[in-house]
Amino acid sequence: MQILKQQTRLFVQEGIANEVIRKLERRLETLIIGDPLDKNTDIGAINSKEQLNKIDALVKAGVKEGGKMFQASCKLPGKGFWFRPTLFTGVSQASRIVQEEIFGPVLAIQTFRTAEEAIEKANNTPYGLSGGVWSDKGSKVFKVSSKIRAGVIWANTYNKFDPTSPFGGYKESGMGREGGLHGLYPYVKL
């Protein structure tokens, strides 16, 4: 079972952690960084120099705080603001790359033993926009998804959107919902 939130934190069950991390590293190596208008591109440029500096600073802090870093060895375009897809393992809950919103291709991986532990770690953040749960056991998916404090949960899927599906977050991830019936509530007098 795995849980992913903010697309920056991944929680993997201990028993499968090594295999998942190995496969993620292999996948990272095949990601294509480049022109966002090119259909083959997986990851485009960072939107500004300021943002690139912020990502860079957070990643350096991650290394300094004792995290183990893996970066794809891909070629980066010469011009523009680019950042290599990056994985962190061995990071703690208090680490800045776990707690802060990175908005860059950086994933911090933590492990867990029980579902309760994963839920507690996943909820330990002031944000709660979206998250994902992967498991081959349906009842476990429902248990975990009902306890994650986030507005959208993707179960055994990720990043799906639809105009009929309400989108929006809990806690500091914003107010209200967009899309679906719930997106219409602010526009009607009840």
Partner 1 sequence: MATSSKRIPIQKTYKLYIGGKFPRTESGRYYKLLNTQGDVIANVCRGSKKDVRDAVVAARKGFGEWSKKTAYNRGQILYRIAETLEGRKAQFAETLCLQGMKPAAAMDEVMASIDRIVYYAGWCDKYQQIFSAVNPVESSHFNFTYPEPTGVVTIISPLEYGLLGLVSTIMPAIASGNTVVALASDKFPLTAIELAEVIQASDVTSGAINILTGHRKELLSGLSNHMDVNATIYCGNDKEELASIRSNASLNVKRVIHHDFKNWSAETCQSPYMILDMLEMKTTWHPVGN
The interface region with partner 1, picked from 38-46, 93-101, 104-112, 161-169 by CB under 8 A, is: 161-169
Select 30 or 164, whichever has its Cβ closest to partner 1: 164
- Is the torsion defined by CA of 150, 152, 155, 158 positive or negative? negative
Q: 170 burial class (0-12, 13-18, 19+ CB within 10 angstroms)?
A: middle
173 binds partner 1 (CB under 8 A): yes
- How many residues make contact with partner 1 (CB under 8 A)? 32
Smallest distance from partner 1 to CB 155, Å:
5
**Token pair in block for residue 61:** 């802090």
154 binds partner 1 (CB under 8 A): yes
143 binds partner 1 (CB under 8 A): no
Sequence-distant (6+) residues with CB within 8 A of 147 are 119, 123
Find out whether 21 and 131 touch, Cβ atoms under 8 Å.
no
115 binds partner 1 (CB under 8 A): no
The single residue among 126, 137, 140, 186 that binds partner 1, judged by CB under 8 A, is 126
The interface region with partner 1, picked from 32-40, 61-69, 102-110, 149-157 by CB under 8 A, is: 149-157
Separation CA 23–CA 25 (nearest Å): 5
The single residue among 73, 139, 181, 187 that binds partner 1, judged by CB under 8 A, is 181
Name the residue type at position 133: V
The single residue among 6, 86, 135, 145 that binds partner 1, judged by CB under 8 A, is 145
Residue 10, beta-bridge partner list: 4, 109
The single residue among 53, 125, 177, 186 that binds partner 1, judged by CB under 8 A, is 177
Helical spans, DSSP H, in the chain: 14-30, 49-64, 96-99, 115-123, 138-147, 180-184
Contact residues toward partner 1 (CB under 8 A) are: 126, 141, 145-146, 149-157, 160, 162, 164-168, 170-175, 177, 180-182, 185, 190
